[in-house]
Amino acid sequence: MAAHTHHHNPALLHHFSTEEQQRNSASFGMWIFLATEVMFFGGLFCAYLIYRHWYFGDFGAASTSINAKLGGANTAVLICSSLTVVLAIWAAQTSRRALMIGMLVLTMLFGLTFLGIKGIEYADKFHEQHVPGASFSFEHVPIPSHPDQYANPRHAEIFFALYFIMTGLHALHMIIGLGIFSWLLWAAWKGRFTPEYHTPLEIGGLYWHFVDIVWIYLFPLLYLIDRHK
Amino acid sequence: MSGHSTSEHAKSPLTTYFAVWGALLLGTWLTYEASLLDLGRYNAAVALIIATTKALLVTLFFMHLKGASEKLLKLVVASTIFFLILLLALSMFDYGTRSFS
Amino acid sequence: MATPISPNVERENYLNKHYGVGSWLLTTDHKRIALLYLLSITFFFFIGGFFALLIRLELLTPASDLVQVDTYNKLFTQHGQVMVFFFLIPSIPAVLGNFLIPLMVGAKDLAFPKINLLSWYLYIIGGVMMVHCMLTGGVDSGWTFYVPLSTSFLNTKVVEAGLAIFVAGFSSILTGLNFIVTIHRMRAPGMTWMRLPLFVWAHYATSIIQILGTPVVAITLVLVVAERSLHLGIFDPKLGGDPLLFQHLFWFYSHPAVYIMILPSMGVVTEIIACFSRKRIFGYSFVAMSSIAIAVFGFLVWAHHMFVAGISVYAALIFSLLSYAVAVPSAVKVFNWTATLYKGSIHYDAPMLYAFGFLGLFTVGGLTGLFLSALGVDMHVHDTYFVIAHFHYIMVGGALMGYLGGMHFWWPKISGKLYPEGWARLAALIVFIGFNLTFFPQFILGYLGMPRRYADYSHMPEFQILNVFSTAGATVLGVGYLLPMIYFLWSMRYGKPAPDNPWNAAGLEWQTQSPPTTFNFDEEPVVTWEAYNYDEIDKGHKEVPQVVG
Amino acid sequence: MAGNVDALFIFLLIVTGMMTLLVFCAIVYFAARYRYRKGVPAEQIEGSIPLELTWTIIPFGVFMVIFAWGAVVYFQGRTPPRDSTEVYVVAKQWMWKLEHAEGQREINELHVPVGRDVKLIMTSQDVIHSFFVPAFRIKQDVVPGRYTVAWFRATKPGTYHLFCTQYCGTQHSGMIGSVVVMEPAQYQAWMSGGSGGPLSATGEKIFAELGCATCHRSDTQGRGPNLQGLFGRPVQLEDGRMVNADENYLRESILDPGSKIVRGFKPVMPTFQGLVSEEQLGALVAYVKSLSQSGPAGPKSAAAAPESAPGKGNQVQ
């Protein structure tokens, strides 16, 4: 077939016949990888589901101690970053190099903001001694729906363990995403991406959106349990 | 992807992107407000429905699943969700029925 | 490394095109990566085999006299971990699958050659961690890492072993990812899904499990490591956690993992049976779909490892029912293989002998699975030697027989040399006899009630006689495994050069030269024939005009 | 029990044996009959849908029979008869501690009379163990933090192996013991050989020492629910759920009282986690059960507590 036609694009790897095949393979590969990621978080969601079912009141008490405003703000930040990602891709498709670079920078700034807010949240939890471990303390915190009853600190500790593992893994994914986007920014700066070829941008974007989706679920599940008055 | 987005719909994706962005922000606000209402056991359901809607919006429009020419990607997404639900549902089935008998 | 094969008269191929350590360690050629895997998994096979030998020798006498009890516990733990995660799971996919899938679908390489290399390095990093773990004291958690034993009660290297398996798991995920994308995207023109060799179908099904199952065990191991280091309470009943949750998550992967081992082996055996019966596979589409069915149903049955663990009786009921569902496609495969023999023209070359061995042992292994998934019987034989025998019949009798059969079948293609046929037939026979002698007595032991993982059975000396048989068998089996190792090595230097298609086999991999060139085919092949077109080959119009090479 | 399991086992042996024979004979016959002969080419066969359906449906049908039979045997094995005599089992690395409802304590040895249904209420102090008596064909994992239950009826006097089958650490293979099955008369003699009174009496003592009775009074005025007749009944909880008051419920209510508040009561009970040992917990559970008229241990323990005639009331056959 078109095996000998790499006259225009040095990015076409030798074992692919056409650019379309290469691009489709790359994005398909990313989707498959995201399937893996879903199951990776899935194990945690399974653990979460079971303990939330068992210890609903305690989870509510623990959840209420987290600053939901910060979590909500972080959700908004991530949603904005997802928008800037699609705009960056759109800019690449329409040969707007400056816009593309601007959007990539903005995406990374949003990502950093997210991690910053996350850091504030973690610091709060640390001060309140809500980090599981030897210094953990959650004494005499009433259960929201049964205010005359205190939450069981051991069960609250399970909540916080899940909270830290889930948000921590999510933050790790954000950090990896920032790494990917630094590389994309560098490549965009070098002028690697054209309307014909911007596959890395697309699959990097897929990853970023996936991380956003995980957060879309983490936010209500971790921050908004049993919050009503 | 490259070919058709440049020529055919040069404008239309932007409106979609901003509309989806707006819907996602709205959804975030809705989740937060809904959590303050006392809906009993439906609080969780409402939260999950909103979250799933948001996730769908991201997947369909930002990740371009809607425009994907092949059914393959949709199959990947559907089967992943299927296996995830399997993991959650079959485990929960054990926990849910332990106190019987 | 195979500093190849008398280069004087040879055509250029993937082995002799480049020389030097760097050309191997930085290669992105799927065939060279397959050989890197071959070397590394062989290394781990002999480590795991050595542990097995020590286990069998210890069990020769009832008392715990050869090794200390805690040493014995480490031996069976690491035998399991090494054999499962560092030998069986990568065995056929990472060696034969890696080598053959691009050839079989008519591609120049896997879709992501660099990721393929990365996956080998991940395997090696995991492997080095595992070896380090062994050398610095080892681990005695059982390969299953059951909590709260592993998280709160052991002072061995649980964390390191867990992390080693975590890393190796990503190697497995990336291999699966590469296969799926390759099979979807890299097929040569004319290579439709229903023309794919069933080996490829089997690997496709395997990859689904690797993609969707492995991450769950990965996160479970993360939780074990976190729980062990920080005492979070997620699995600790003293802190409100549920130890059974670990078992659910662990078996969600580790049951389907059995299919990661057996499905590729089924694929190998399908190729061999077709070739040596000179026949189309009976019911091609049923064999193909049964692979997919096994992969899907395989995810529905995990809690049959937990029937007596304290799960709800209703959950046990559901999981028992579903376990029988997964037995059906396996049975369908066996019947189709048998029917393929009917009115064939059967040759008894070594690969076929291994395939026969596979058929017999897998049938026994599969049918004894029916005992274990019957709730009432499982109450008795669970966690006894019955289980040990059952899964060795599947994983060694099935998966390993298939692997060896495949190694013989494709060795001429891989190395460009012929192995000594007589020795190979002898080895197949020895393996078959040794295997049965080792593991059949364990069924009886299990029924009589001998629990697994016992270093010392001096209070029940009545079990000794069967253990003696088993140990004797293991010795025979060991010889059977050493033989191929020796003559394969021997053949690399002294073997006769292999023709391109020594078996007159169907399949694109045989249409290119032996060993293949770096990019597999000189011209992209165009496929115009169905899989297993042995009638056309045997009638002599085998020369398929579109393929040069 | 043993008979049921063996019957199924033998059925399975026959069925799988026939399947194996079928496949093996076919393979051997085809392999010999259709071996390679010069000039005789293989006959190509595409496949056959009727055949495929046959060997899908028939095995499936056979499997369903096995499944159903297995499920029946399993349910029998999981459902102790109502009037079983009870033994509390506490497993720890690496020993079995057994305590009869009548008060006898044993380590790594369990004495039972022939022909009596014995219900084991088991828990572990540390890791997961598994209680396995091959001769009785019973096995049940013993899980820390909760009770699991098994039962058996011995039919022949003798001494039988007791194994731990869930790998539990270094001395796993040393965690063995025996079940001694005795004739009723001998058993009676063995029983009379000294004990500190029935388990429920021990439980009553602990109940008093811990001051439980100040709230759990036998009238309706207490701050805690009245425990008379509680065991085995459904309980309405504060949050609307219904739970069955089984051993695990009693256990959880002592260790984690906040998790299941009975309707109409306040969450005022302190936790006893860490304050009572597994043995004491077993005794408390036995005591609460003895307060239940309809409960399985009822007739014996409630009456037996004061007059100490262990085993008498529950004598079967």
Q: For C417-431, how does the pLDDT look when each residue is reduced to its tens digit (9 = 90+)?
A: 999 999 999 999 999
User: Does the pLDDT value for residue D257 go beyond 90?
Assistant: no
Least Cα distance to C439 among C360, C378, C337, C374 occurs for C360
Residues of chain A neighbouring C245 (CB-CB closer than 8 A): 46-47, 50
Using CA of residue A128, residue A130, residue A135, residue A139, what is the dihedral sign?
A: positive
The reply to whether residue A146 touches residue D259, judged by beta carbons under 8 angstroms, is no
What's the CATH number where C426 sits?
1.20.210.10
Residue with tokens 């199952």: C213
| Number of CB pairs, chain A paired with chain D, less than 8 A apart | 18
Cβ atoms of D121 and D86 closer than 8 Å: yes
Kindly state the helix (H) or strand (E) to which residue C23 belongs, with its residue range: helix C21-25
Provide the 10 A C-beta neighbour count for residue C522. 12
What's the longest Cα–Cα distance across chain C? 73
The whole-angstrom separation of Cα C126 and Cα C128 is 6
Which amino acid does the sequence have at D304?
A
The whole-angstrom separation of Cα C303 and Cα C317 is 10
Least confident of B41-55, C253-267, D212-226: D212-226
Q: Flag whether C2 is in a domain.
A: no
Query: For chain B, what is the radius of gyration of the CA atoms?
Result: 19
The reply to whether residue A28 touches residue C185, judged by beta carbons under 8 angstroms, is yes
Residue with tokens 């459904």: D234
Residues of chain B neighbouring D78 (CB-CB closer than 8 A): 101
Cβ atoms of C491 and C442 closer than 8 Å: no
User: Does the pLDDT value for residue A90 go beyond 80?
Assistant: yes
Q: What are phi and psi of B98, to 5 degrees?
A: -65, -35
Cβ atoms of C344 and C261 closer than 8 Å: no
The whole-angstrom separation of Cα D24 and Cα C449 is 29
Token pair recorded at residue D85 = 């005599």
The whole-angstrom separation of Cα C169 and Cα C40 is 15
Least Cα distance to D287 among D251, D317, D313, D315 occurs for D251
The reply to whether residue D258 touches residue A150, judged by beta carbons under 8 angstroms, is yes
- Average pLDDT over chain C reads 93
User: Does the pLDDT value for residue D103 go beyond 50?
Assistant: yes
Using CA of residue D139, residue D142, residue D148, residue D150, what is the dihedral sign?
A: positive
Q: Are strands D109-113 and D177-182 parallel, antiparallel or unpaired?
A: parallel
User: Does the pLDDT value for residue D296 go beyond 50?
Assistant: no
Least confident of C112-126, C412-426, D208-222, D284-298: D284-298
User: Does the pLDDT value for residue C9 go beyond 80?
Assistant: no
Token pair recorded at residue C50 = 């050595």
Q: Looking at the domain covering D199-310, what would its CATH class be?
A: mainly alpha
Provide the domain count of chain C.
1
User: Does the pLDDT value for residue A13 go beyond 90?
Assistant: no
Which distant-in-sequence residues (6+ apart) come within 8 Å of D302 by Cβ?
D200, D290, D291, D293
Residues of chain D neighbouring C443 (CB-CB closer than 8 A): none
Q: Flag whether C545 is in a domain.
A: no
Alpha helices (H) along C349-463: 350-373, 375-381, 385-392, 401-415, 421-448
Residues of chain B neighbouring C302 (CB-CB closer than 8 A): 90
pLDDT average, residue stretch A28-49: 96
The whole-angstrom separation of Cα D237 and Cα A111 is 46
Q: Does D310 touch chain C (CB under 8 A)?
A: no
Q: What are phi and psi of B99, to 5 degrees?
A: -85, -5
Q: How confident is the model at residue A229 (pLDDT cuts 50, 70, 90)?
A: low
Cβ atoms of A188 and A98 closer than 8 Å: no
Token pair recorded at residue A162 = 């899940």
Q: Does D51 touch chain C (CB under 8 A)?
A: yes
| DSSP-derived 3-state class of residue D152 | strand
Distance from CA of A149 to the nearest CA of D (A): 6
Distance from CA of A98 to the nearest CA of D (A): 59
Q: How confident is the model at residue C1 (pLDDT cuts 50, 70, 90)?
A: very low
Token pair recorded at residue C226 = 């976190």
The reply to whether residue C213 touches residue A154, judged by beta carbons under 8 angstroms, is no
Mutation site for A-interface testing, chosen from B2, B17, B77 by largest number of A Cβ within 10 Å: B2
Q: What is the pLDDT of residues D233-252, one digit of tens each?
A: 888 888 778 888 888 889 98
The reply to whether residue A149 touches residue D256, judged by beta carbons under 8 angstroms, is no
Residue with tokens 């090794």: C67
Of A54, A55, A149, the CB nearest to D267: A149
Chains contacting chain A through 3 or more C-beta pairs under 8 A: B, C, D
The confidence score (pLDDT) of residue D311 equals 35
Cβ atoms of C281 and C273 closer than 8 Å: yes
Q: Looking at the domain covering D85-191, what would its CATH class be?
A: mainly beta
Residues facing D113 on adjacent strands: D182
Q: Where are the beta strands (DSSP E) in chain B?
A: none
Residues facing D149 on adjacent strands: D121
Residues facing D35 on adjacent strands: C346
Token pair recorded at residue D297 = 């241990």
A-proximal residues of B, 44-83, CB under 8 Å: 44, 47-48, 50-51, 54-55, 58-59, 61-63, 72-73, 76-77, 79-81, 83
A-proximal residues of D, 218-257, CB under 8 Å: 238, 256
| DSSP-derived 3-state class of residue D90 | strand
Helix axes C350-373, C313-341, angle to 10 degrees: 150
Rounded to 10 degrees, the C-alpha dihedral A48/A53/A57/A59 comes to 0
Least confident of C370-379, D9-18, D230-239: D230-239
User: Does the pLDDT value for residue C377 go beyond 50?
Assistant: yes
Which amino acid does the sequence have at D123?
T
Q: What is the pLDDT of residues D141-165, one digit of tens each?
A: 999 999 999 999 999 999 999 999 9
Least Cα distance to A23 among C262, C185, C20, D184 occurs for C185
Query: For chain A, what is the radius of gyration of the CA atoms?
Result: 22
The confidence score (pLDDT) of residue D256 equals 86
User: Does the pLDDT value for residue D264 go beyond 70?
Assistant: yes
* C-alpha triplet C150, C154, C156: angle, nearest 5°: 100
Q: Which class for D220: exposed (0-12), middle (13-18), buried (19 or more C-beta within 10 A)? A: exposed
pLDDT average, residue stretch C51-72: 94
| DSSP-derived 3-state class of residue D232 | coil
User: Does the pLDDT value for residue D313 go beyond 90?
Assistant: no
Q: Does D169 touch chain A (CB under 8 A)?
A: no
Mutation site for C-interface testing, chosen from A12, A39, A210 by largest number of C Cβ within 10 Å: A39
User: Does the pLDDT value for residue C485 go beyond 60?
Assistant: yes
The confidence score (pLDDT) of residue D149 equals 93
Domain range annotation of chain A? 34-223
Q: Are strands D95-100 and D105-107 parallel, antiparallel or unpaired?
A: antiparallel
User: Does the pLDDT value for residue A112 go beyond 60?
Assistant: yes
pLDDT average, residue stretch C227-252: 92
The confidence score (pLDDT) of residue C522 equals 87
Q: Looking at the domain covering A34-223, what would its CATH class be?
A: mainly alpha
Q: What is the pLDDT of residues D107-139, one digit of tens each?
A: 999 999 999 999 999 999 999 999 999 999 999
The confidence score (pLDDT) of residue C7 equals 44
The confidence score (pLDDT) of residue C81 equals 96
Rounded to 10 degrees, the C-alpha dihedral B33/B37/B40/B41 comes to 0
Q: How confident is the model at residue D292 (pLDDT cuts 50, 70, 90)?
A: confident
Token pair recorded at residue D144 = 């820390």
Residues of A with CB under 8 A from a CB of D: 54-55, 57, 146, 148-152
Q: How confident is the model at residue D62 (pLDDT cuts 50, 70, 90)?
A: very high
Which amino acid does the sequence have at C366?
G
Residue C353 belongs to domain spanning: 28-538
Of C184, C233, C524, the CB nearest to A1: C524
Domain range annotation of chain B? 2-68, 70-101
**Residue C407: HSE in the Cβ half-sphere, 13 Å Cα cutoff:** 25
Q: Where are the beta strands (DSSP E) in chain D?
A: 85-92, 95-100, 105-107, 109-113, 117-124, 129-133, 138-142, 148-153, 158-164, 177-182, 234-236, 242-244
The reply to whether residue C185 touches residue A162, judged by beta carbons under 8 angstroms, is no
The confidence score (pLDDT) of residue C543 equals 47
Cβ atoms of D19 and C299 closer than 8 Å: no
* C-alpha triplet C89, C91, C92: angle, nearest 5°: 105
Which distant-in-sequence residues (6+ apart) come within 8 Å of C304 by Cβ?
C255, C319, C320, C323, C372, C373, C378
pLDDT average, residue stretch D36-41: 88
Q: What is the pLDDT of residues C150-180, one digit of tens each?
A: 999 999 999 999 999 999 999 999 999 999 9
The confidence score (pLDDT) of residue B66 equals 86
The confidence score (pLDDT) of residue A133 equals 84
pLDDT average, residue stretch C365-372: 95
Provide the 10 A C-beta neighbour count for residue D71. 18
Least confident of D48-62, D210-224, D270-284: D210-224
Q: Where are the beta strands (DSSP E) in C40-166?
A: none
The reply to whether residue B94 touches residue C244, judged by beta carbons under 8 angstroms, is yes
Cβ atoms of D247 and D255 closer than 8 Å: no
The confidence score (pLDDT) of residue D293 equals 53
- Provide the phi-psi class of D86: left if phi over 0, else alpha when psi is between -120 and 50, else beta: beta
Q: What is the pLDDT of residues C167-217, one digit of tens each?
A: 999 999 999 999 999 999 999 999 999 999 999 999 999 999 999 999 999
Chain C residue with CA closest to A46: the answer is: C249
Q: What is the pLDDT along chain B (101 residues), one digit of tens a residue?
A: 444 444 444 456 899 999 999 999 999 999 999 999 888 778 899 999 999 999 999 999 999 988 777 789 999 999 999 999 999 999 999 998 887 65
The confidence score (pLDDT) of residue A5 equals 44
Rounded to 10 degrees, the C-alpha dihedral C264/C270/C275/C278 comes to -170
The whole-angstrom separation of Cα D68 and Cα A198 is 58
